[in-house]
């Protein structure tokens, strides 16, 4: 009896098949938050082959390009409706002096990338290149500015250079460099990881420094709508968030950041492709912690900002493994498998479900670095499993959250367990409902029932990302091995949609 009760507690028990089903209940709340499209942002650092030999191949390359940026990358990112792109770091940001990256390319000084492989860069990709790229993508630029080794003057000059429409020394310099109209950059990071590579500061010291920088970034009333993002906590450093929220006046900050990577062990990150089920389980355990992190950082923010004027900006997240054999350890080049698709699907569901406070996030990093959506090899380019998740989830961009509740079955390995199912739902401006479902279980098909009663759904269609093996990935020899496709393994009966989710799969349902 006890067992029966337990089974009933997490869903519906089919006596014949002894198949446990989770029922996902969808609530329609008029005042539920909008899922900001900026949750689906990306990050591109001067690191390894992300910018140079990734995005940027130079104007003289025989790879098709627009002002030196690969056109195949531009098209691929437009197809996932990339909403914003963070640049130039990461740790690189607090070593970067933007004036080195403007003017005639041949005259630009070089810079040694001290954090990432110690390579010398020629600054041929600079402010104009990046902001023009964002224009081509239709994405909002997010500039992470140098606080650690910069000055207030250098920072505010950058803002004036890219944003000032009238007469000013920096606007004049911009025009001399060929750009008449300002770009109007809204999103500004005030340093990066100030507790580490940004200057090894205490939160108290950074909060004071932040106040100083933020003061000069805007007018009295911030009438130009500059969005200032304070460098945030590392993972579960709740004290960092507490001090920033306590010490920074609300009128000086629009977003507080958070960084968290899914890493098994920083000293033994293990292979991106050749991993055991136990390693998969541990990676997913780290990825799913994002829910607790966001909940706890939000609780601190709620204490100081109950009206939710300040956003949580998770501007670095994703899986981090050992680099691919034979590549520069400082370049963080890793392959991307179905495990990464699981991280992406589950993490984006977490962000959607916390969209009352999480308004922006940036997957690390777009091309050839960490959990990239695109990998390149000379002329070749491939789209990773993570790319397909981003593509499937575009339906949630700026849609209204539909809060859900359900009990997940467990995914068990060696006596340890994790919730197998993750989900989120939204309704777009055409009243179309989308439900994204992830089954992380490495072996079991899990059946979920989505209760669609009250949503007036007549037609349902779906897309799936799945593959034979967890380790499956796209290669330059076989670039289309893992791809999203149409999915039909569901039944709609009397408003109840029953979906069979294969092991390690992502399914996005559309109901109209
Ligand atoms: O994304 C790689 C690095 O991870 C970034 O430069 C830094 O901010 C973080 O530690």
pLDDT for 340-378, tens place per residue? 999 999 999 999 999 999 999 999 999 999 999 999 999
Q: Which atom of ligand 1 is nearest to the CA of 192?
A: 8
- Judge contact between 189 and 254, C-beta under 8 A: no
DSSP 473: B
**Residue whose pair of structure tokens reads 């922006």 in the numeric block:** 360
Could you tell me if 486 and 353 are in contact, meaning their C-beta atoms sit under 8 angstroms apart?
no
- Which of the four pLDDT bands, split at 50, 70 and 90, describes residue 29? confident
Distance (Å) from CA 284 to ligand 1 centroid: 20
Is residue 75 among the annotated active site residues?
no
- Residues enclosing ligand 1, CB less than 6 A? 45, 89-91, 192-193, 316, 364-365, 370
Work out the average pLDDT over 439-444. Answer: 98
Protein residue whose Cα sits closest to atom 4 of ligand 1: 90
- 24-33, 81-90, 389-398: the lowest-pLDDT one: 24-33
What pLDDT score was predicted for residue 1? Answer: 35
Q: Comparing 7-21, 102-116, 414-428, which segment has the lowest mean pLDDT?
A: 7-21
Residue 16 has pLDDT above 70, yes or no: no
Ramachandran class of 378: left when φ > 0, alpha when ψ lies in -120 to 50, beta otherwise: left
Q: What's the chain's length in residues?
A: 512
Q: What residues pair up with 490 in beta bridges, in sequence order?
A: 499
Which listed residue (193, 254, 286, 356) is catalytic? Answer: 193
pLDDT at position 19 over 70: no
pLDDT of residue 412: 97
Closest residue by Cα to residue 340 from 314, 315, 375 = 375
Q: How far is the CA of 393 from the centre of ligand 1 (A)?
A: 25
For residue 266, is pLDDT > 60? yes
Higher pLDDT, 508 or 4: 508
Mean pLDDT calculated for residue range 11-23: 49
Atom from ligand 1 closest to the CA of residue 364: 1
pLDDT tens digits for range 72-92: 999 999 999 999 999 999 999
Q: Which of 49, 93, 193 to mutate to test the pocket of ligand 1 (most atoms within 8 A of CB)?
A: 193
Average pLDDT of the segment spanning 209-238 = 96
Q: Would you say residue 12 has pLDDT above 80?
A: no
Residue nearest to atom 9 of ligand 1 (CA): 90
For the cut 70, the answer to whether the pLDDT of residue 148 exceeds it is yes
Mutate-to-test residue for ligand 1 from 44, 54, 91, 191, highest number of ligand atoms within 8 A of CB: 91
- Which phi and psi angles does 447 have, rounded to 5°? -100, 125
410 CA distance to ligand 1 centroid (A)?
Answer: 32
- For residue 196, give the ligand 1 atom closest to its CA: 10
Q: Ligand 1 centre from 147 Cα, in Å?
A: 16
- Cα of 490 to ligand 1 centre, how many Å? 41
Whole-number Å distance, alpha carbon 261 to ligand 1 midpoint, is 9
Asked whether 319 and 339 are in contact (CB, 8 A), the reply is: yes
Q: What is the mean pLDDT of the chain?
A: 95
Q: Which is the catalytic residue, given 45, 140, 316, 356?
A: 316
With the most atoms of ligand 1 within 8 angstroms of its CB, the residue from 41, 43, 89 to mutate is 89
pLDDT > 90 in the chain, percent: 93
Mutate to test the pocket of ligand 1, among 42, 48, 49, 90 (most ligand atoms within 8 A of CB): 90
CA atoms 171, 172, 177, 178: torsion sign: positive
Residue, of 474 and 453, whose pLDDT is higher: 474
- Contact by Cβ (8 Å): 362, 369: no
Answer yes or no: is pLDDT of 171 > 50: yes
User: Which of 24-28, 269-273, 341-345, 439-443 has the least mean pLDDT?
Assistant: 24-28
Is the pLDDT assigned to residue 7 strictly greater than 80?
Answer: no
Q: Phi and psi of 216, rounded to 5°?
A: -90, 5
431 pLDDT band, cuts 50/70/90, is: very high
**235 pLDDT above the threshold of 70:** yes
Per-residue pLDDT band at 48 (split at 50, 70, 90): very high
Please report which confidence band the pLDDT of residue 28 belongs to, taking 50, 70 and 90 as the band edges.
confident
3-class SS at 172?
helix
Of the pLDDT bands very low, low, confident and very high (cuts 50, 70, 90), residue 100 is very high
- pLDDT number for residue 454: 86
Lowest mean pLDDT among 15-29, 64-78, 183-197: 15-29
pTM of the model: 0.94
Mean pLDDT over 454-483 rounds to 96
Residue 135 is among the residues annotated as catalytic for this protein: no
CA–centroid distance, 145 to ligand 1, in Å, is: 14
Tokens at residue 292, please? Answer: 């607790």
The pLDDT, as a whole number, for residue 17 is: 36
The larger pLDDT score, comparing residue 150 to residue 22, is at 150
The Cα 306–Cα 29 span in angstroms is: 20
pLDDT confidence of residue 8: 37
Alpha helices, H only, 197-276: 203-215, 238-247
Question: Could you tell me what percentage of the chain is helix, strand and coil, using 3-state DSSP and rounding each to the nearest 5?
Answer: 30, 25, 45
Give the residue-averaged pLDDT of 224-228: 96
Confidence check: pLDDT of 123 > 70: yes
- pLDDT tens digits along 197-215: 999 999 999 999 999 999 9
Under the banding of pLDDT at 50, 70 and 90, the label for residue 145 is very high
pLDDT for 5 beyond 60:
no
Residue 506 and residue 434 in contact, taking contact as beta carbons nearer than 8 Å = no
């Amino acid at each position: 009896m006890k067992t029966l009760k337990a089974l009933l507690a997490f869903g519906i028990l089919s006596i014949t098949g002894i198949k446990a089903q989770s029922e996902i209940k969808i609530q329609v709340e008029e005042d539920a938050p909008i899922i900001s499209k900026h949750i689906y942002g990306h990050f591109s650092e001067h690191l390894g082959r992300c910018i140079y030999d990734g995005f940027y191949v130079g104007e003289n390359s025989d790879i098709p390009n627009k002002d030196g940026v690969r056109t195949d990358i531009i098209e691929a990112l437009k197809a996932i409706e990339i909403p914003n792109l963070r640049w130039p770091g990461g740790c690189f940001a607090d070593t970067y002096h933007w004036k080195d990256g403007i003017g005639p390319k041949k005259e630009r000084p070089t810079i040694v990338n001290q954090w990432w492989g110690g390579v010398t860069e020629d600054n041929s990709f600079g402010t104009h290149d990046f902001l023009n790229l964002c224009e081509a993508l239709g994405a909002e630029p997010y500039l992470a500015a140098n606080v650690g080794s910069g000055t207030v003057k250098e920072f505010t000059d950058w803002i004036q250079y890219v944003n000032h429409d009238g007469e000013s020394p920096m606007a004049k310099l911009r025009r001399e460099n060929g750009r008449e109209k300002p770009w109007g950059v809204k999103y500004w990071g005030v340093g990066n990881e100030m507790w580490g590579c940004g200057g090894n500061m205490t939160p108290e010291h950074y909060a004071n420094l932040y106040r100083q920088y933020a003061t000069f970034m805007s007018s009295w009333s911030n009438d130009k709508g500059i969005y200032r993002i304070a460098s945030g906590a590392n993972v579960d450093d709740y004290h960092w968030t507490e001090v920033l929220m306590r010490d920074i006046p609300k009128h000086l900050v629009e977003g507080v950041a958070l960084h968290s990577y899914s890493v098994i062990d920083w000293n033994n990150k293990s292979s991106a492709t050749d991993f055991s089920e136990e390693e998969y389980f541990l990676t997913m355990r780290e990825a799913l912690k994002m829910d607790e992190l966001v909940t706890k950082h939000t609780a601190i923010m709620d204490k100081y900002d109950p009206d939710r004027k300040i956003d949580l900006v998770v501007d670095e997240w994703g899986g981090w493994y050992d680099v691919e054999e034979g590549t520069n350890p400082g370049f963080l080049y890793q392959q991307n498998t179905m495990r990464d698709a699981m991280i992406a699907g589950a993490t984006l569901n977490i962000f959607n479900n916390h969209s009352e406070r999480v308004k922006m996030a940036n997957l690390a990093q777009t091309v050839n670095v960490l959990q990239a959506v695109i990998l390149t090899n000379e002329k070749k380019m491939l789209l990773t499993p993570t790319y397909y998740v981003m593509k499937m989830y575009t339906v949630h961009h700026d849609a209204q959250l539909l809060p859900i509740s359900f009990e997940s079955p467990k995914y068990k390995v060696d006596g340890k367990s994790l919730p197998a199912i993750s989900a989120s739902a939204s309704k777009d401006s055409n009243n179309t409902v989308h439900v994204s479902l992830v089954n992380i279980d490495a072996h079991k098909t899990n059946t979920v029932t989505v209760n669609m009663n009250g949503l007036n759904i007549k037609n349902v269609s779906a897309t799936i990302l799945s593959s034979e093996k967890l380790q499956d990935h796209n290669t330059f020899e076989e670039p289309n091995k893992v791809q999203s496709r149409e999915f039909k393994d569901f039944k709609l009966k009397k408003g109840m949609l029953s979906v069979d989710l294969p092991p390690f799969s992502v399914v996005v349902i559309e109901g109209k």
